[in-house]
Amino acid sequence: MQGLAPSSKLSLTVVVVVFLLGMAGAAHGLTRVVANSPDEPCMNMTLYYHDILYNGNNTANATTAAATKPTALATTYWKNSTYFGALMVFNDPMTVGRALPLAGEEPAARAQGFYFYDKQESLTSWFGFSIVFNSTANKGTLNLVGADLMGDATRDFSVVSGTGDFFMARGVATIRTDAIEGLYYFRLQMDIKLYECYV
């Protein structure tokens, strides 16, 4: 699992539905592709996001840390808290399969950004982050924002743009909680579909 290497591993599919525009000047050999409908993404991939929270004792492994404490409001409603106002900053590995990278192994990508809990009555959060690819197979970033409505079986983030291999991309990432282990680890499955690409 060294990076995304063969695109088959990534189950990455490129569907070319080219805009009927002049192709003059496409010196990089790149052409803009825009999906006609939600059924025709121009690129597909599934990645797993591993959030390993700092618990005070896991300095070597932790990739997420709390920048702020929950507000007083978070603890008044539930004894166990909904963490309202807790801001978490992360630099999390993303992998093609469910397993964490082995020691010394590079993940397929890293998710760099933040989330914070934003409701008094229930667990819900908001994310802003980049998926940073830096392997022989892929270089570049995808930038995402969106609400993580944790009570829903699936929920959607927006891929608002991209750089490098993902130049000017747009799309949707559908999120599913794949595992929760105690208070300090959770894993999200992210099915990323791009509807605007340069290919």
When binding is defined by CB under 8 A, the residue of 45, 62, 94, 190 that contacts a second copy is 62
| Phi, psi at 75, each rounded to 5° | -100, -10
Q: Strand 170-181 to strand 185-198: parallel, antiparallel, or no bridges (unpaired)?
A: antiparallel
Q: Does 49 bind a second copy (CB under 8 A)?
A: no
Choices 3-11, 55-63, 96-104, 182-190; region in contact with a second copy by CB under 8 A: 55-63
Residue 138 binds to a second copy (criterion: CB under 8 A): no
What's the closest the beta carbon of residue 177 comes to a second copy, in angstroms? 17
Cβ closer to a second copy: 36 or 80? 36
Q: C-beta of 127: minimal distance to a second copy in Å? A: 10
Q: Please identify, using beta-carbon distances, which residue of 46 and 163 lies nearer to a second copy.
A: 163
Burial 17-35 (b: 16+ CB within 10 A, else e): eeeeeeeeeeeeeeebbeb
Q: Minimum Å distance from CB 64 to a second copy?
A: 9
| Interface with a second copy in residues 72-111 (CB under 8 A) | 72-74, 76-77, 84-87, 89-91
CA-closest candidate to residue 127, choices 106, 142, 139, 138: 142
Residue 19 interacts with a second copy (CB under 8 A)? Answer: yes
Does 136 participate in binding a second copy (rule CB under 8 A)?
Answer: no
Q: Are 145 and 170 in contact (CB under 8 A)?
A: no
Q: Using an 8 Å Cβ cutoff, are 178 and 98 in contact?
A: yes
- Does position 7 interact with a second copy (CB under 8 A)? The reply is no
Q: Which of 7, 32, 101, 184 binds a second copy (CB under 8 A)?
A: 32
- Residue 30: left if φ>0, alpha if ψ -120 to 50, beta else—which one? beta
Residues 146-175 that bind a second copy (CB under 8 A): 146-147, 149, 156-164, 167-168, 170-172
Tokens of 43: 């690129």
Smallest distance, Å, CB 94 to a second copy? Answer: 13
Instruction: For residues 1 and 95, give the distance between their C-alpha atoms in angstroms, rounded to a whole number.
Output: 8
Interatomic CA distance for residues 150 and 127, integer angstroms: 12
